């Protein structure tokens, strides 16, 4: 019974993930596109939970669906009607090439997976209860990955400063 429930949750999350992904790419109004991405991130968080990544699922909802997407929606609102993006596409040849390239990518991954399918992919390792919790992740960040942790903070600082510099208008300086 428990196993059946896990499959049901997985199907709902995976289906929601894929349909909202298609919606993000195909909708013409960026506002609805961004809302679809929030749905996509939420269903991805459910998949993370099923993979025993509790801390990442929480961070995904807080950082992505919370902070990043709110910033995005603010910019879409600021741009107003300018932001509308009708389906314009390039020349038909380019469009066909894009679809073929994406399909080739997908086929490659599925073939590789099919070759590796079997015991390796179907039997996950045994993990303890704390796996993926904040304590385990935090300890790794402050021991093995301390340098990456510190550099990430610098990357975020540089990005914040860059965003301010790019967003400041030149006209105001000239006055």
Of residues 20-49, those binding another protein (CB under 8 A): 21-22, 24-25, 30, 33-34, 37, 40-41, 44, 47-48
CB of 109 to another protein, least distance (A): 4
Determine the Cα–Cα distance for residues 47 and 164; give it in Å rounded to an integer.
35
CB of 76 to another protein, least distance (A): 7
CB of 169 to another protein, least distance (A): 6
Q: What is the DSSP string of 61-86?
A: IIIIIIIIHHHHHHHHHHHGGGG---
CB of 154 to another protein, least distance (A): 10
> Binders of another protein among 115-134, rule CB under 8 A?
116-117, 121-127, 131-132
Residue 149 makes CB contacts below 8 A (sequence gap 6+) with: 141, 142
Task: Find the binder of another protein among 77, 106, 134, 146 (CB under 8 A).
Answer: 106
If binding is defined by CB under 8 A, does position 12 make contact with another protein?
no
Determine the Cα–Cα distance for residues 106 and 112; give it in Å rounded to an integer.
10
If binding is defined by CB under 8 A, does position 70 make contact with another protein?
no
Nearest to 53 by CA among 132, 153, 116: 132
Nearest to 133 by CA among 48, 63, 65, 52: 52
If binding is defined by CB under 8 A, does position 66 make contact with another protein?
no
Determine the Cα–Cα distance for residues 135 and 146; give it in Å rounded to an integer.
15
Task: Find the binder of another protein among 78, 92, 93, 174 (CB under 8 A).
Answer: 78
């Amino acid at each position: 019974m428990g196993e059946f429930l896990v499959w049901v949750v997985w199907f709902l999350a995976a289906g929601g993930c894929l349909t909202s992904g298609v919606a993000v790419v195909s909708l013409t109004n960026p506002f609805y596109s961004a809302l679809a991405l929030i749905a996509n991130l939420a269903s991805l968080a459910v998949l993370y939970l099923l993979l025993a990544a509790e801390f990442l699922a929480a961070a995904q909802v807080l950082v992505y669906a919370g902070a990043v997407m709110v910033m995005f929606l603010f910019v879409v609102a600021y741009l107003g009607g300018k932001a509308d993006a009708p389906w314009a596409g390039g020349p038909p040849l380019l469009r066909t090439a894009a679809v073929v390239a994406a399909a080739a990518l997908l086929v490659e991954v599925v073939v590789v997976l099919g070759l590796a399918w079997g015991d390796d992919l179907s039997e996950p390792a045994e993990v303890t209860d704390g796996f993926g919790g904040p304590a385990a992740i935090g300890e790794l960040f402050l021991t093995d990955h301390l340098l990456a942790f510190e550099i990430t903070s610098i990357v975020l600082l540089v990005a914040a400063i860059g965003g301010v510099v790019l967003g400041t208008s030149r006209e105001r300086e000239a006055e």
